Amino acid sequence: MADIAGITSGRERWSRDVRIPRHTHDAPYAAVVLSGRYEECGSRGRFHVGPGHVLLHGVFDAHLDRFSRAGAEIFNIALDRNVPFALGSVADADAIARLAEKDAHAAGAALCAHITPCESERGDWPDLLAEHLLKNPDCRLGDWAETHGLALETLSRGFGRVFGLTPAAFRAEARARRAFHRIVRDRAPLADIAAATGFADQPHMSRAVKALTGATPQTWRQSNRFKTRAAQPA
């Protein structure tokens, strides 16, 4: 099962050169950057952020963080739904934080109303591979490595140093996450969802979803506490 961490709403201060290992959150939230800079590598790619940036995390997204020598101050705000993009910006991050200290729900609504999507900076080949795997889940890693002049072993080690897991594991997690969102969003038969999301069969999908979320597709269908939140694109 994934290393699932709780969300601590409110202000966080991180010291210089801190590294936070890869972990998963089971609810959507926004990290508003108030000061400093850091790098986040996760389910939606790699992002280098500074003051005014907002990182959006969906249900069961995973990420690791590397803080710069300046450290960073962040304000975490719980959201009641997924946001369909990963990086945005706000004109007055401090105002959002002040509102959140008084009314977290109002701050979440204000953030979603005023945030502007941002394009992430294109980095080196691990960024390109992550982007490609998210858009092309059936990508053959050997073919991608050959096209970019890389040995398959180099691909695995280099991607792992950046994202904290191998490209194959990243691809498998992305497939399980897509299946999970389909499972809680509509009532299509589970076997059909398994086929549509690239699994060999329904049991294969069930194992992957349980490894990601801690519960089987059948359990999510019965409880579905993410019904409204998961209805939004992941």
The domain segmentation of the chain, as residue ranges, is: 4-117, 125-230
Rounded Cα distance between 209 and 199, Å, is 11
Band the pLDDT of 223: cuts 50, 70, 90.
Answer: confident
Q: Is 214 left (phi over 0), alpha (psi -120 to 50) or beta?
A: left
Rounded Cα distance between 145 and 168, Å, is 13
Q: Taking 80 as the threshold, does the pLDDT of residue 211 lie above it? A: yes
CB 30 within 8 A of CB 67: no
Band the pLDDT of 4: cuts 50, 70, 90.
Answer: confident
Half-sphere exposure of 27 toward its Cβ, with a 13 Å CA cutoff?
Answer: 12
The reported pTM is: 0.89
CATH superfamily, region 4-117: Jelly Rolls (2.60.120.10)
Structure tokens at 82: 């997924």
| Mean pLDDT, rounded, of the chain | 92
Is residue 107 exposed (0-12), middle (13-18) or buried (19+ Cβ within 10 Å)? Answer: buried
The predicted pLDDT at position 2 comes to: 60
CA distances to 22, 48, 142, 215 from 163, rounded to whole Å, are 8, 13, 19, 25
Closest CA to 56 of 78, 35, 73: 78
Rounded Cα distance between 110 and 137, Å, is 34
pLDDT single digits (tens) 123-163: 899 999 999 999 988 899 999 999 999 999 999 999 999 99
Within 10 angstroms of residue 19's Cβ, the number of other Cβ atoms is 11
Q: Taking 60 as the threshold, does the pLDDT of residue 40 lie above it? A: yes
Band the pLDDT of 227: cuts 50, 70, 90.
Answer: low
pLDDT single digits (tens) 60-118: 999 999 999 989 999 999 998 889 899 999 999 999 999 999 999 999 999 999 999 99
**Assigned CATH for 125-230:** 1.10.10.60
Rounded Cα distance between 113 and 218, Å, is 35
* Rounded to 5°, angle at Cα 154 from 149 and 158: 115
